[in-house]
Amino acid sequence: MEQPTTSPESTAPIACPICGKSESLRRCGSCKRVGYCSREHQRQHWKAHRADCTYQSKQLQPEKDSPSSSDMVVVVEIKSGEGSGLTNMMINHVFNSKVQGVRCIRQRLGYTRTEEMKELTEMPFLRELMHFSSGVLYVDPRQNVFPPFTEEFNRQFGFGFGIDKLNDMLNCRGVSGELNAMAIYICSKLDDGISTSVNASGDAFFIGTTARGEPVTSNVLWGAANFVYEAMDYYPDVNCPKEQREQKFHKWSRRYALGTWEPMAGRAGINLYQTDPFQCAAHWPTVDHRTP
């Protein structure tokens, strides 16, 4: 068991992944990223930590010819699909710059050159708990309506809500096409669990960066969808008091920051923290749009 260290990694928030204790911890001697309150808890957690520990140790050793992930922009295409938000097909698109990525999204979604492209940025689970440093979701304007809503739209789709109330509740409301469950889940709110992109339809595109400023890939976004999906079990307040819910979410948040959080059902062999799009799960392909 290693003694506490003052390396950059040791200043990050940390908690024992077995019991959640955050005091008098000693870090894993290999990766320095996970801390334990006792040798027994380190032994219990080794089976789950072993793969990540090996991966993180390799990541700490720079490769001379390997381009930095910070030198690329990844656009995650989220195909439409209903359900839990965990089964949407995704494609990683790699660009030299965000300008190129946004231009591609504009073309794919059918915006004209003069139209302002709507950006959905309210993602409190991703920003406040998972500490994404940025995150923008783009949806198809032909299949979604944005506020301010009209009286006619309210008559057809408002379910009795007034215009002001509807505008307050929704950022995006799907009006045609298949729902995009992942796009709905990742925009859920912390206070009541309701998504600001409720009923989003059609294909969507996501551009974001992690707490370390690295690209959000299909792997990372799938992990985020799992995080939010599991959180929904604690709403409404009758299921779990707000204070208790917040304590649980912040415990998850600390574990995510350490790279130790994973879904209750397991991660299906997927590295939830993989920011290299060329190393993501094989069923989520990567398309390289970069030019020399």
Q: Is residue 123 located within the same domain as residue 202?
A: yes
Structure token digits, residue 120: 């959905």
Q: What are phi and psi of 257, to 5 degrees?
A: -60, -30
Task: Give pLDDT, residue 168.
Answer: 67
Residue 146 lies in a domain: yes
Tokens, residue 50 = 């072993």
Residue with tokens 């299921």: 239
Residues 110, 236, single domain; the answer is yes
For residue 3, is it within any domain? no
Same domain assignment for residues 55 and 97: no
- Render each residue's pLDDT in the chain as its tens digit; 292 residues: 444 444 434 444 578 888 888 778 887 877 777 888 887 888 788 877 776 775 454 444 444 444 455 579 999 999 999 989 999 999 999 999 999 999 999 999 999 888 888 899 999 999 999 999 999 999 988 888 776 667 777 676 665 667 676 666 666 777 777 899 999 999 999 998 988 888 889 999 999 999 999 999 999 999 999 999 999 999 988 889 999 999 999 999 999 999 999 999 999 999 999 999 999 999 999 999 998 7
Beta-strand pair 90-95/286-288: parallel
Integer CA distances (angstroms), 185 to 44, 82, 87, 153, in order? 33, 11, 12, 23
In a domain, 169, yes or no: yes
Residues 130 and 259 in one domain: yes
* 193 in any annotated domain: yes
- Which residue range(s) make up the domain with 189? 69-288
Domain co-membership, 32 together with 95: no
Q: How far apart are CA 92 and CA 220, in angstroms?
A: 11
Pair (133, 228) in one structural domain: yes
Give a yes or no: residue 271 inside a domain. yes
252 part of a folded domain: yes
pLDDT of residue 26: 81
Q: Are residues 208 and 126 in the same domain?
A: yes
Domain count of the fold of the chain: 2
- Specify if 64 maps to a domain: no
For residue 283, is it within any domain? yes
Residues 6+ apart with CB under 8 A from 73: 94, 95, 96, 97, 98, 100, 101, 207, 215
265 and 151 housed in the same domain: yes
176 plus 271 within the same structural domain: yes
Q: Which helix (H) or strand (E) holds 42?
A: helix 39-59
Do both 205 and 248 map to the same domain? Answer: yes
Please report how many Cα atoms fall inside a 13 Å half-sphere around the Cα of residue 78, on the Cβ side.
35
Please count the other Cβ atoms lying within 10 Å of the Cβ belonging to residue 110.
10
For residues 74 and 43, state if they share a domain.
no
Position 97 scores a pLDDT of 95
Q: Tell whether 198 and 55 lie within a shared domain.
A: no
